[in-house]
Each structure stands twice: as structure tokens, then as C-alpha cells.
Amino acid sequence: MTHSTANIPGPDELREMSPEEAMLAGADSGGVHVVHRRQRYPIPGTKAEKRAERGVSFMFGLAALAGVAFIVVFVAWPYVYHLPGEGSQRFRFYTPLLGGLLGLMLLGLGFGAVLWAKWLMPEEEAVEERDDEPSPDEEKLMTAATLSVGFEDTGLQRRRMLVGSLALAGGALATVPLVALVGALIKKPGNQLAHTLWGQPPDKYPNGVPVIYSDGRRVSPNDIQAGGLATVFPGVPGGITSANTPTLLIRLRPNQTVKSRKGQADFGWGDFVAFSKICTHAGCPASLYEQQTTRLLCPCHQSQFEVLQDAKPVFGPATRPLPKLPLGIEVVDGTQYFVGRHDFVEPIGPAYWERP
């Protein structure tokens, strides 16, 4: 360090000095110069000083009291949740009391410490040398020489074969841990993204995949009124919990006609149409259905789909229509129930690079 070390007093001199002088000498020796130092209460015991001390002590005392109160509340206050009318509602003060008392304790400590520095500790201003000059030339030269000779010692400059083989080994070192640690995470997507559980082998479900509500009941056309919609799922194992299968079954009014997309004209049944609930933008359920304007609004980024145009996106960031589920009917014991005839003909939800 290139501080002004010229005037470091010796140990005997230091022992002769007052502690304050020794402190200042110590600071100077490290390049820190106290340029202003003043006791706030040069005459000890004045009312002003006592007042300041009382103030700081009050803060710490408050902190202590708040701490005790915190412990009492923590242990003794009722905290169990009850519905209104079924038990004490005092739990609603438990968290606020704990937070408030803890806050009071911490603020007491904090303000106490800051006020201690501001009101009681001496006023002081110190200046520290930055010691910012670059290293002296001799240091730089010696370090440069150390580095270069060390590099020469390795012989890498001349030994080509060594460098080549080291590079290969280094490449292996860079990639092998990655492969070993991360490799098992890699899973081939295959074409899983393009299929949902609505697509089942026809021999297993010859009449089509049953359409069910979230509680497992089959959906019948009479259930839903014109202007209504229901969230439905395929009645297969995992159908309700899968993230790809939620579907909106919508019953339009008789005077509302759907302008179908190519190849999907017969996907509806009667007044009914069914679309994948999963927004084709970023995957949120697009289920805000405005039955009079026949718009489906997705709450996440405000994409809007026009049901009468086969759920074509008409506003917002979505770019692709909601896939349409081909509906069919199966009659069981005289009652009509909906089935899904086959899977959506395009991948549902957000797009990806290799989307067919």
C-alpha cells in the first residue's frame, strides 16, 4: 500500500499518546484522515445529552417490550381459522399482531441504532486516499515475466501434439459432465404435442370417446341450453387431469350459423360446437364466453376468438383458431350422449417449431 507511511509513530510514542490520538495515528497510517471530529456533548452530563440518551434508550426499551409482547401473542393468541359463525374470529389478528410487534421491535432496534449514531456518537468526517495509482512498473514487469515464463514451462507453445490432444481432452471435459448430469433430463417430444387423449384407438372406443363433466357424468345435449357452455373432458383414464384435454362445449342459438373452416364443417352436432379450451397463444384456458357476441376471451393476454367463425382469433396476440372437436352422439338406454369421434385434427394450444 502506498499510503503516507512516513509518520507512523513507534510503540513507545503510541503508549504516551491519548487513545484518541493513537486512533487518529492509526487511521492516518492506513491512509484515512479524520478531518473533522467533534463530540456532540463536550460537557458531559448536560440536560441535552441526557435527553438524547433517553430518546435512544426509549427506542431500545420499546423494542424489548415489543419483543416480549410478540412472544406472548405467538404462544397465547388464537390462530386457528374458523368460518364466520363457527368459531372465534380472533385469528384474523394473529398475523397482523405478530407482524406489527415484530416490526415494532425491529424498528425500535433500527431507529435506536441510527439515532445513537446521529445524536450521541461524535460528529466525524474522514477522508480516505483511494490508492488508485496503477501498480508500479516493476510489479507489472515481474508479473508479466512470471506469467510468460510459466507458460513457456508448460511447453504448450512448441508442443503441437500436446496442444491438440489437450484441446480434445478439454472438449471432452466440457461436454461429458453436461451429458452426464443433464442428459437424463432430455426427453424426446416425438409427436406427443400433436395428440391428446381425445384420440383413442377405435377398437377400444368404437362409438367414440365419451364426453364427460369434471365429476364424471356423461354429457347429454339436453343438459345445455342455448347460450350455455360447459367444460368437458374425455371419459378415459387421465382425461380430467390432463392439460391438453379440457374442451368447451357450446350450444349456440338456432339462428346462429357457424362459418366452418375447411374440413371441419361436420364437426359440430346440431346447435353444438366444441373447441379446445387451451388458448393457442400461451396455453391459458380461454373460457370467458360472451354468449351474445359469441366471443371467447382468454384472460391472460386478451386474445379473442369468434365462435361463429370456428373460433378464429379476431383480436389480441393469438394467431391460430382453437382446434375443433368432432362431436358425435351415442345413444345409451334411450338417452343421447355426446362422444368425441376422433382427436382434434391439429395440435392444441401453443405452437412450436415443428408443429405440423
Partner 1 sequence: MVFSRLNVSHASHSAPGPALVPALSRALTLLDQQIADLDVTAIEYLEHVADPKFTDEQISQLEAFVQAHGGGPETPTGNLRDTSLSLGQGGDLFRLNCASCHGFSGAGAPLSAGKLAPTLKHASDTQLFTAMLTGPENMPVFNDNQLTPNEKRAIIDYIQTLKESNDPGGSGIGRIGPVSEGLVIWVAGIGAIVLIIMWIGAKS
Partner 2 sequence: MTATRERETASEPRSRRNQPRTLLGKTGEWFEERLKVARPTRHYLNKVFPDHWSFMMGEIALYSFVVLLLTGTFLTFFFDAAMGEVRYNGSYQPLQGVEMSQAYASTLHISFDVRGGLVIRQIHHWAALMFIAAMLIHMGRIFFTGAFRKPRELNWIIGISLIVLGVIEGFAGYSLPDDLLSGTGLRIADAIMLSIPIIGSWVSFAVFDGEFPGTAIVGRLYIAHVLLIPAILVALITVHLALIVRQKHTQFPAAGRTESSVSGERVYPIYAAKAGGFFFIVFGVLAGLGGFAQINPIWLFGPYNPAQVSSGSQPDWYMAMLDGSTRLFPSWEIHGLFGRYTVPAVFWPTVVLPTILIGLALAYPFIEARLTKDRAKHHLLQRPRDVPVRTSLGAMALTFCIVLFISGGNDLVAAAFDISLNAMTWGGRVALIILPPLAYVLTYRICLGLQRHDREVLEHGVETGIIRRLPTGEFIEVHQPLGPVDDHGHGELNYAGASVPKRMNQLGTGALRHARGFFRPVVEKPEIAEKLAEVEESEEASDAAERRDKIAVELEEVEAERRHQLTD
Give the residue with the Cβ less far from partner 1, 111 or 205: 111
Pick the closer one to partner 1 by CB: 30 or 227.
Answer: 227
289 binds, among partner 2, partner 1, none (CB under 5 to 8 A by kind): partner 1
By the rule CB under 8 A, 276 interacts with partner 1: no
Q: How far apart are CA 348 and CA 274, in angstroms?
A: 13
CA distance 242 to 228: 24
Residue 68 interacts with which of partner 1, partner 2, none, CB < 5 to 8 Å by class: none
C-alpha span between 285 and 299 (Å, rounded): 8
For residue 24, count CB atoms less than 10 angstroms from its CB and return exposed for 0-12, middle for 13-18, buried for 19 or more.
middle
Residue 145 binding partner 1, by CB under 8 A: no
Half-sphere exposure of 296 (CA within 13 A, CB side): 32
Q: Give CA–CA dist 20/39, Å, rounded.
A: 12
CA–CA separation, 193 and 262 (whole Å): 22
User: 200 or 336: whose CB is closer to partner 1?
Assistant: 336
Among 229, 273, 274, 311, binds partner 1 (CB under 8 A): 229
Residue 156 cell numbers, joined = 504448450
Q: Please say which residue, 86 or 138, places its beta carbon nearer to partner 2.
A: 86
Q: Which does 121 bind (CB under 5 to 8 A by kind): partner 1, partner 2, none?
A: partner 2
User: For residue 275, what are the β-bridge partners?
Assistant: 248, 324
Least distance in angstroms from the C-beta of 118 to partner 1: 8
With binding defined as CB under 8 A, does residue 164 bind partner 1? no
Q: Which of 147, 288, 332, 351 binds partner 1 (CB under 8 A)?
A: 288
Q: Which does 222 bind (CB under 5 to 8 A by kind): partner 1, partner 2, none?
A: partner 1
**Out of 52, 63, 224, 274, the residue judged to bind partner 1 by CB under 8 A:** 224
Site for partner 1 contains 116 (CB under 8 A): no
Contact segment (CB under 8 A) with partner 1 among 144-152, 154-162, 191-199, 280-288 equals 280-288
Nearer residue to partner 1 within complex by CB, 19 or 84: 84
- Residue with Cβ nearer partner 1 (60 or 79): 79
* CA–CA distances in Å: residue 116 to residues 74, 78, 142, 345: 30, 38, 50, 74
Measured between alpha carbons, how far is 298 from 309 in angstroms, rounded to an integer? 16
Strands 327-332 vs 295-297: parallel, antiparallel or unpaired? unpaired
Sheet holding 288-290, edge to edge: 288-290, 295-297, 304-306, 312-315
Pairing of strands 32-38, 209-212: unpaired
Residues 315-344 interacting with partner 1 (rule: CB under 8 A):
315
Rounded Cα distance between 323 and 348, Å, is 6
- Minimum Å gap between C-beta 332 and partner 1 is 16
Pick the closer one to partner 1 by CB: 264 or 304. 304
Q: Collapse the DSSP code of 280 into the 3-class scheme (helix H, G, I; strand E, B; otherwise coil) and give the result.
A: coil
Asked whether the beta carbons of 264 and 332 are under 8 A apart, the reply is: no
Among the candidate windows 51-59, 95-103, 189-197, 331-339, which touches partner 1 by CB under 8 A?
95-103
Residue 114 found at the interface with partner 1 (CB under 8 A): yes
Location of C-alpha cell 412450436 = 352
Under the rule (CB under 8 A), what is the footprint of partner 1? 81, 83-84, 89, 91-92, 94-96, 99, 114, 118, 214, 220, 222-231, 253-254, 285, 287-293, 295, 297, 299, 302, 304, 315
